[in-house]
């Protein structure tokens, strides 16, 4: 399988998995309570060269976790409480595997941290929006990324066995930061006082239950003799608080189908609704999403019957797969050209149907829209330049127009025949929020309340000239200038420093106030990206390579 990965000299990373193929997680469902047990197979790393000791994790462990979270939302919607616990005595999770981090190229490390962050955000999203409350039942020590996994749960309980503790030891032991949001969730989410957090993050061994409770690092705990019953009682209390057991019938999430071809320097990945055309020699790609051909579902029963084949779900599952393929397997592709094909009216009809069914109480319609929102946020987080190209035959309408607004620029052909238009729909009012809690129109027109009100009063098809005047697109060249202007913009973009572009794009994409999520990804992109390249962390005598070595790391003590 062809790819241009600069990360590892191995086959591309695959995100296709299912519970019967899990190596590291056990998923058990008992009515309204699900249990996710982390029991890492130390001999089944994503790639050879390290053992997953002490229930530590690599990308493969988190790929399974992400799959389990999504399956619980779609396949087990009756679940109201998810217990995340460990299957190894005295060790819930030791965090990210250090040998894996030390042996990975820089880009892989950063994307690994980004993916684990997105997975943890989905746990929080499921708790907030899907009535599936996650609790961390730490029946052993939770260190580093293990405690970060606990932090994304709504409640954290630690066993009182005289041994188990919680810790964030990255600063004293590894010379890096907690890479999946540990610091930010500590003070922004759990409201731990910052001087207390400072003590916690510099004490490698962490704190056991008594002190962890005082510091608000956990929400409670019990001795080993009472542990199992106490967790069971708490789970049932959560179910009761959610109005008791539910009876929703889930849908299956079958594997996605994809074909792959290559002719010279052009590689094409094709799903039923998405095509990813990669031009290796030019360092850019075309990502095309096709609109629906079938009629929108007329009832909750019809949507349930379509299941995972429903366009609104299937197309965004495929888009998600394409984005992850690009992120991990094609790091040299620096620019994504976003295209759509189809009828705008059909897209709007599906958006309207899903919104109406959600308002009428359809759990599946709700989960479809939440999934679309999550994939759009994954698009926001791409460390690639993105240009939307809006031409006749496009269907940048409703939810698909959100894709154009996620892009760094949107070019729209001012067609003399008037055949080119974008179409505004009801979903722009707040159905799909970005990480900062704002919708993409608010972000786009931040600081222009009159312009925002004018757009919000506009409905249906909008031609190129009007779209440019309303601020919906960046440029609307006519048919004489279109080809040259787009070509020059592409050629210029791929000539710039990728490091400078990543920093620039991530600073510009989330206008407005920060919140916990934007801090998570902003700090990951800037600070952790930088720290992971510093000799103090990854040099010959840096903290990561020297971990487990009797010799201490050697630091350059200069502050910058």
Report the alpha-carbon distance of residue 420 to residue 392 in Å, rounded.
Answer: 5
Contact between residue 56 and residue 106 where contact means Cβ atoms under 8 Å apart? no
Catalytic site includes residue 170: yes
516: which DSSP letter? H
Average pLDDT over residues 310-316: 98
- How many Cα atoms sit within 13 Å of 73 on the Cβ side? 29
> Domain 19-240 sits in which CATH superfamily?
2-enoyl-CoA Hydratase; Chain A, domain 1 (3.90.226.10)
Average pLDDT over residues 327-343: 97
Residue with the two structure tokens 């159905």: 431
Give the pLDDT of residue 546. 87
The model's pTM is 0.94
- CA-based nearest residue to 142, from 119, 170, 116, 165: 165
527: which DSSP letter? I
Give the pLDDT of residue 10. 60
CB proximity list for 336: less than 8 A, separation 6 or greater: 284, 285, 287, 326, 382, 384, 385, 386, 387
Give the pLDDT of residue 542. 87
Identify any residues that bridge with 202 across adjacent strands, giving them in sequence order: none
Give the pLDDT of residue 2. 46
* Token pair for 12: 């591309």
Strand pairing report for 90-93 and 81-86:
unpaired
- pLDDT of residue 543 exceeding 90, the answer is no
Catalytic site includes residue 148: yes
Burial category of 515 from C-beta neighbours within 10 Å (exposed 0-12, middle 13-18, buried 19 and up): middle
Q: Which residue is catalytic, options 124, 148, 151, 267?
A: 148
pLDDT-above-70 percentage for the chain: 97
3-state secondary structure of 270: strand
Strand pairing report for 460-463 and 274-279:
unpaired
Fold match, 19-240 / 259-501: yes
- pLDDT of residue 250 exceeding 70, the answer is yes
Confidence of residue 404 (pLDDT cuts 50, 70, 90): very high
Contact between residue 60 and residue 45 where contact means Cβ atoms under 8 Å apart? yes
Taking the alpha carbons of 236, 238, 244, 245 in that order, is the dihedral positive or negative? negative
Q: Structural domain boundaries of the chain?
A: 19-240, 259-501
- Does an H or E element contain 423, and which? strand 421-424
Report the alpha-carbon distance of residue 386 to residue 28 in Å, rounded.
Answer: 40
529: which DSSP letter? H
pLDDT tens digits for range 76-112: 999 999 999 999 999 999 999 999 988 888 889 889 9
Identify any residues that bridge with 63 across adjacent strands, giving them in sequence order: none
- CA-based nearest residue to 277, from 294, 290, 260: 260
Report the alpha-carbon distance of residue 444 to residue 424 in Å, rounded.
Answer: 14
Average pLDDT over residues 8-26: 88
Residue with the two structure tokens 């880009």: 107
In CATH, which of 3.40.50.2300, 3.30.70.1450, 3.40.50.170, 3.90.226.10 is domain 259-501?
Answer: 3.90.226.10
CB proximity list for 373: less than 8 A, separation 6 or greater: 431, 432, 433
Contact between residue 73 and residue 126 where contact means Cβ atoms under 8 Å apart? yes
As a whole number of angstroms, the longest Cα–Cα distance in the chain is: 78
Q: Which residue is catalytic, options 64, 170, 367, 391?
A: 170
Mean model confidence pLDDT for the chain? 93
pLDDT tens digits for range 527-541: 777 788 888 888 889
End-to-end CA distance of the chain: 43
pLDDT tens digits for range 363-390: 999 999 999 999 999 999 999 999 999 9
Residue with the two structure tokens 């490390």: 109
What does the chain come to in residues?
A: 560
């Amino acid at each position: 399988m062809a790819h241009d990965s600069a990360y590892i000299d191995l086959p591309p990373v695959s995100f296709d998995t299912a519970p019967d193929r899990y190596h590291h997680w056990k998923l058990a469902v008992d009515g309204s309570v699900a249990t996710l047990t982390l029991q890492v197979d130390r001999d089944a790393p994503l790639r050879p060269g390290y053992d997953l000791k002490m229930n530590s994790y690599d990308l493969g462990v988190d790929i399974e976790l992400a799959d389990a979270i999504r399956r619980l939302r779609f396949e087990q919607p009756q679940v109201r409480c998810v217990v995340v616990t460990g299957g190894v005595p005295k060790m819930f999770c030791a965090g990210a595997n250090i040998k894996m981090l030390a042996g990975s190229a820089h880009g892989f490390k950063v994307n690994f941290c980004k993916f684990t962050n997105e997975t943890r955000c989905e746990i929080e999203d499921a708790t907030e929006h899907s009535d599936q409350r996650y609790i961390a039942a730490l029946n052993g020590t939770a260190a580093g990324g293990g405690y970060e996994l606990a932090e994304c749960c709504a409640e954290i309980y630690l066993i009182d066995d005289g041994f188990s503790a919680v810790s964030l030891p990255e600063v004293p032991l590894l010379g890096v930061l907690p890479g999946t949001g540990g610091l930010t969730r500590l003070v922004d989410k759990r409201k731990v006082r910052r001087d207390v957090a400072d003590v916690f993050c510099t004490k490698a061994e962490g704190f056991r239950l008594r002190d962890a409770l005082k510091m608000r690092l956990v929400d409670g705990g019990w001795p080993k003799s009472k542990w199992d019953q106490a967790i069971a009682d708490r789970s049932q209390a959560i179910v009761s608080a959610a109005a008791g057991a539910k009876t929703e019938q889930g849908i299956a999430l079958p594997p996605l189908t994809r074909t792959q071809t290559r002719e010279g320097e052009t590689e094409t990945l094709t799903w039923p609704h998405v095509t990813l055309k990669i031009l290796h020699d030019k360092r850019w790609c075309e990502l095309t999403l096709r609109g629906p051909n079938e009629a929108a579902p007329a009832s909750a029963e019809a949507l349930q019957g379509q299941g995972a084949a429903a366009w609104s779900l299937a197309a965004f599952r495929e888009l998600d797969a394409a984005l992850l393929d690009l992120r991990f397997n094609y790091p040299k592709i620096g620019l994504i050209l976003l295209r759509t094909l189809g009828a705008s009216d059909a897209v709007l009809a599906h958006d309207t149907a899903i919104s109406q069914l959600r308002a009428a109480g359809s759990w599946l319609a709700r989960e479809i829209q939440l999934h679309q929102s999550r994939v759009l946020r994954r698009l926001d987080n791409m460390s690639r330049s993105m240009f939307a190209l809006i031409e006749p035959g496009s269907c940048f309408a409703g939810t698909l127009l959100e894709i154009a607004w996620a892009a760094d620029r949107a070019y729209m052909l001012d067609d003399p025949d008037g055949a080119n238009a974008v179409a505004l729909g009801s979903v722009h009012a707040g159905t799909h929020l970005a990480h900062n809690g704002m919708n993409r129109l608010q972000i786009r027109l931040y600081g222009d309340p009159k312009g925002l009100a004018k757009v919000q009063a506009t409905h249906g098809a909008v031609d190129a000239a009007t779209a440019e005047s309303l601020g919906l697109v960046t440029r609307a060249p006519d048919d004489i200038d279109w080809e040259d202007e787009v070509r020059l913009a592409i050629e210029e973009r791929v000539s710039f420093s990728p490091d400078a572009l990543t920093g620039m794009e991530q600073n510009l994409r989330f206008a407005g106030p920060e919140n916990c999520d934007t801090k998570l990804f902003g700090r990951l992109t800037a600070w952790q990206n930088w720290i992971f390249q510093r000799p103090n962390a990854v040099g010959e005598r840096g903290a990561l390579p020297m971990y487990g070595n009797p010799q201490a790391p050697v630091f350059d003590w200069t502050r910058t």
